[in-house]
Structure 1
């Protein structure tokens, strides 16, 4: 089977299911596992790499479905049997209609499978669906079972009687965006209560007044598409805001800066690590750095 993946999370999933050698093409954003960077890249972004968060937000608002390009000539040369894509977010990947139009022109009529997970259960269903398509159903069940094992492990430490902290996961800072989709589920399973994001719904633009009114006791800064060091640079846009400095989580030094691109934005196998990170951010005395990859995948910001 010759597989093209047009979403980083699907690329990770195919590899986790043991079919890395069948991948023949990926996106310019596919970076895990590292070996997929050697594969032909089929997409490009129209967003300048040096653009600020505010500039990126403006471009997204203006252009919507026109942020990515698809190299249709290279796609044709790869002769795929299966093309994995998404219908969830036109500003996160190539538009699904573009992919289907390109696939229809290819010889052999390759299958196009599009995913749209909204909740954590949807993510698990996606694991199973892709597992069936690429003949790895047992491996897909193993991934789902591994996530549930981590949930049980967290519950052993976080007693039911322990108060659930008020948590806000921010996916963007300038302007601020709440979390959505599967991330409120992650926060709940990790022992917290998401006070801004809405489970199963899209991430949404919020005002700093709404963030302040929510009074989060823990904040996860998990910026969509940004790794840890880029997220650290983005903090410059908020650290001097009075509303930010008055937040309980900021005053108490309970703001976790996270590699959001790897562990929260992508509905793939590494959401299990995101669950561990969220648990560690909420209860740092109960979970060791190695258990939650603290210092490598995330860190607390110092008090102002």
Structure 2
């Protein structure tokens, strides 16, 4: 079977199922596992201006594209045809995050031998399991999905046992910084399993634009910065965007020094195998006396306000 994945999380799921040798093409955003994706042709590109890095400018550009009805991504249809895929993986959850289902289906439908096109949509954590089953069944290896899901469930149960009975901190996961957006879809459930209470995001619902005044009113005790698609170094570089909020130092999480920059791209922006790692990371941050993972050292950085002394 020849598989084209236009979604980073789906690419990771294909590899988790041991089907990496069947991958023949990926999207421009697929970057993991690096040893698998390095040599694969990339069939998509962003239509946003190159070099755009300011969050407010990105948000404005995306909104303008939507207003004009223009796509955020382009598919190399000639290369897609040359690869002759049997299966194309995409999504219908968010037109901003990756190539949407309609665009992928239209491109695939024009091929001499149209492939099967599957939308891998994760609204809640249970959908992550179903997505893995969906890919495994399409590839003819359903038993591999069940084996992997059992492993994931065991790890989640271990986290829940470790944090059971501990005080749950009030948590705000910020999915964008300028303008600020709450988290949504599967991320609030990640917080719950890890032993926290998400104060603004709603499980199964899209992220939403919020006001900084709402953040102050919510009184979060922990704030995690997870701007969509940002690597850890990019999140750290965006730190000044939040520190210029006038009442920033009045927020409990800031006063206590519980502001964290996290590797959003790897563990929170894309639902896939590493979502489980992300839950373990959150548990280690919320309850360091009960749970630990080496990810704390390489996927998170605690950010102290320059005028405040962090306290526990």
Report TM bin, short chain.
over 0.9
Q: After the TM superposition, which of the residue ranges 190-199 and 40-49 deviates more from structure 2?
A: 40-49
2:225 match: 221
CA distance in 1, matches of 2:277, 2:161: 17
* 3-state secondary structure, aligned to 1:163: coil
Segments of 4+ moved more than 3 angstroms = none
CA-CA distance at 1:150 after TM superposition: 1.8
- SS of the residue corresponding to residue 132 of structure 1 reads helix
Q: After the TM superposition, which residues 1-304 of structure 1 pair with which residues of structure 2 at under 5 Å, given as runs?
A: 1-34=1-34, 35-47=36-48, 48-64=50-66, 66-160=71-165, 162-288=166-292, 291-304=293-306
Contact 2:225–2:262 (Cα < 8 Å) also in 1: yes
**Shift in Å at residue 29 of structure 1?**
0.6
* CA shift digits 1:56-79 (9 cap, x unpaired): 000111113511111000000000
Q: Report how far residue 115 of structure 1 moved.
A: 2.1
TM-score (norm 1): 0.96
User: How far apart in 2 are the matches of 1:178 and 1:23?
Assistant: 34
Residues 218 and 281 of structure 1 are in contact (CA less than 8 Å); yes or no, is this contact kept in structure 2?
no
Q: C-alpha deviations, 1:4-38, integer Å up to 9, x for none?
A: 00000000100110010100000011000002121
Q: TM-score, normalised by structure 2?
A: 0.93
Deviation at residue 246 of structure 1 after TM alignment: 1.7
Q: Contact 2:260/2:300 (CA < 8 Å) preserved in 1?
A: yes
Q: What are the Cα deviations for residues 115-174 of structure 1, in whole angstroms up to 9, with x where unaligned?
A: 2221111111111111111123222122222222122212332132x2211111111101
* 2:38 aligned counterpart, secondary structure: helix
Q: Is 2:184–2:203's contact at 8 Å kept on the other side of the alignment?
A: yes
Deviation at 1:292, TM superposition (A): 4.6
Q: Give the paired residue count.
A: 301
Consecutive unaligned residues of structure 2, counting only runs of 5 or more, are: 307-312
Whole-Å Cα distance in 1 between the matches of residues 197 and 139 of structure 2? 36
**Matched residue SS, 1:242:** coil
1:157–1:286 contact (8 Å) kept in structure 2: yes
CA contact (8 A) 2:10 2:120 kept: no
Q: Distance in 2 between matches of 1:260 and 1:242?
A: 25
Whole-angstrom distance in 1 between the partners of 2:169 and 2:271:
24
Segments of 5+ residues of structure 1 without an aligned counterpart are none
**Contact 1:273–1:292, Cα closer than 8 Å, also in 2:** no
Distance across 2 between alignment mates of 1:243 and 1:261: 28
Instruction: Give the superposed CA RMSD.
Output: 1.3
CA contact (8 A) 1:218 1:255 kept: yes
Give the secondary-structure state (helix, strand or coil) at the position aligned to 2:62.
helix
The answer on whether the counterparts of 1:190 and 1:278 sit within 8 Å (CA) in structure 2 is yes
Q: Distance in 1 between matches of 2:215 and 2:161?
A: 31
Question: What's the CA shift string for 1:217-253, capped at 9, x where partnerless?
Answer: 1111111100000111111111132232221111111
